[in-house]
Amino acid sequence: MNKITTFRGEYHFLSNFYQHPFTYKGLVYPNAEAAFQAQKCSSDADRIKYTLQKNPVRAKQMGKKEPNLPKNWDEISYDIMMDILRAKFAVPELAEMLEATGDARLEEGNHWHDNRWGNCTCEKCSTKEGENWLGKILMHIRHTNRTKYMHIENLEKITSHLNIPALIALAARPCVGKTTIAMNIAIYEAEHYNKNVVYFSFEMSEKQAYVKYNIQDKSSIHIIDDIPLTVSQMKEKLQSLGNIDLVIIDYLELIQSESEEKNRVHQFMDIGSALKKLSQELNVPIVILSQLSRGIDNRTDRHPILQDFREDLGIEQFVDTVMFLYRDSYPKFNEPSYYHFDNTIECIIAKNRYGEIGTIPLNCQLDFKVLQSNNEV
């Protein structure tokens, strides 16, 4: 298998230091490093200075001095970087450049002893292999841009939980299939029951989603890709659309807080309460996607449990139903099995105020598709 082991020269675009503006959570950053360091701040007002910092080295130095660094930064930094690079490579020309790397293993070789995000090749570190977090994230994004599920058996057993006003969490670790399952739910409900579905897509543009999931009936599936949005802003958009039967939000962590003054825990509690109230007011089920803590990856049994939600979210307290997605053959980045998943995904109903709990096996038929980049998306 080919390797790209330096993010310089023709592959400099893979580096977080690469200069190319992109939007993340409503702010335009000059490079991924500035966006990443800005997330150590507690408010957008504090993050503004990073949008003006074109020097990634200086941005990194600034980040080291941030006084309000989240206590669980080591736990959440991987997922934050994943979110940021998804936003970066949502830019069509960058997505095309990433796709052009083919199936090469991506690995940022370095000499500054960074064996977490890359792989240090100095004499001192030569006896151990780096974790290569950055490369793994890039390979994951490259792969998900190519893949969709064509058919999912037993999907109706999930959608049967979407018939009453309720707040439903659909959660998993990255690369399991949250967005794909959620999109298929939207398509299934629209096609089989003529439901009007609104899908808030905070990671993928409207055009990208319509192409990737081959959505033909755009009148029944409304994709809203405005970011960032508060719950009250989402409410306004929903009310302007009129009759709505199902709302899907992809995903919880990207919802904008109504108050930047509160800490993140209280912000999410407010968001959860507002979403639950919105479900009752509009008389519709709301499905919110969410990521699980990385701690699950360190267990022998990686079936998700309620305690696997990130502590700062408190999501299990305010939702009515919790659905976890789990795949036994958990993908390992850029190994042969990475491109040949087990086609069975378990949907684990771990909490249900209005019915039974249990496990629903989903048989997924995979279709690998390379997007045609600029002209189609």
What would the two tokens of residue 281 be?
A: 């007011």
203 catalytic residue (yes or no): yes
Distance CA 139, CA 99 (A): 10
Maximal C-alpha separation, the chain: 64
Q: Which amino acid is residue 206, in one-letter code?
A: E
Closest CA to 364 of 103, 140, 176, 159: 176
Distance CA 195, CA 236 (A): 20
Cβ–Cβ contacts within 10 Å for residue 304, how many? Answer: 23
The answer to whether 201 and 182 have CB atoms below 8 angstroms apart is no
Q: Quick one: how far is CA 103 from the chain centroid?
A: 22
- The one catalytic residue among 189, 203, 253, 316: 203
Return the HEC string of 208-220.
HHHHHCCCCCCCC
Distance CA 225, CA 192 (A): 25
Residues marked as catalytic: 203
